[in-house]
Homo-oligomer: A and B are copies of this chain.
Amino acid sequence: MSNVDTVIKDLVIANRILAKEDVVDAYGHVSIRNPDNPKHFFISRSRAPELIERDDIVELDLGGEPVRDEKRALYLERFIHAAIFEKRPDVMAVVHAHAEDILPFGIAKATKLRPVIHSGSFIGAAVPVWDIADKFGDTNVLVTNMAQGRDLAKCLGENNVALMRGHGFASAARSLIEVVRMSVYLPRNARAQMRAKQLGGKIKYLSQGEIDARNRGYSPYSTETWRAWEYWANKASCGHLLSKPEQPPENQHDHKHDHKK
Contact = CB atoms under 8 A, between A and B. Distances in A.
B257 A224 contact: no
Contacts of A73: 223, 249, 251-253, 255
Interface string A23-64: 001110000000000000000001110110000000000000
Interface stretch (A6-14, A85-93, A151-159, A210-218): A210-218
A74 B224 CA distance: 10
Contacts of A110: 199-202
A165 to B, nearest CB: 6
Interface residues of A, number: 91
Contacts of A210: 133, 138-141, 166
A33 to B, nearest CB: 19
Contacts of A188: 100
Contacts of A246: none
A71 interface: yes
B191 A69 contact: no
Given A166-B117, A256-B69, A107 B48 contact: no
A1 interface: no
Contact of A109 (B133, B141, B198, B204): B204
B209 A137 contact: yes
A104 B257 contact: no
Contact of A104 (B47, B101, B192, B212): B192
A26 B199 contact: no
A206 interface: yes
Contacts of A214: 140-141
Of A202, A208, A216, most buried by chain B (CB within 10 Å of CB) is A202
Contacts of A171: none
B199 A131 contact: no
A105 interface: yes
B213 A107 contact: no
B203 A108 contact: yes
A203 B202 CA distance: 21
For the complex of A and B, the 5 pairs showing the least CB-CB separation, nearest first, are A138-B209, A110-B201, A48-B231, A26-B228, A104-B195
24 contacts: A46-B224, A50-B234, A51-B231, A69-B258, A73-B251, A100-B192, A101-B195, A103-B116, A103-B196, A104-B198, A104-B199, A107-B116, A107-B117, A107-B196, A111-B200, A117-B166, A118-B142, A133-B207, A137-B209, A138-B210, A138-B213, A141-B210, A141-B213, A166-B210
